[in-house]
Amino acid sequence: MPLVTFKVSGTDNCVRIDDLPYVYIRTEAGGSVLAASCPHRGGPLHLGTPDADNRRLVCPWHERGTSLSRLRRLVPAVRTGDTVTAVLPGPADADVELCHLPLSPALAAGA
């Protein structure tokens, strides 16, 4: 499993592991690293918004909610200042690339 440190916002706020993007998001319930693609149809989850109860992240493509607590459990991560270090799924020798993905205003707040 790759251990990767990347920025929580701005340039290099995304890390791709074997072409699967991960970003740091911030909601009222706290911050976490999660896959930036919707598990249902691959939509841009990084552009989603939390539901009214802050329990689900709603995909902008098809408005399906995905449990934030389930997403948080998938990637152990620690934020320090403006960076986050995460243990991401995949083999230790996976291709790792830093890149940028925009976040919805609701997920970038407090980043």
Percentage, residues of the chain above pLDDT 70: 97
Domains along the chain with CATH numbers = 3-108 (2.102.10.10)
Three-class DSSP category at 105: helix
Q: What is the pTM of this model?
A: 0.89
Render pLDDT for 1-13 as a digit per residue (tens, 0 to 9). 899 999 999 999 9
Render pLDDT for 15-26 as a digit per residue (tens, 0 to 9). 999 889 999 998
Query: Which two tokens mark 47?
Result: 């552009």
Give the count of alpha carbons within 13 A of 72, CB side only: 15
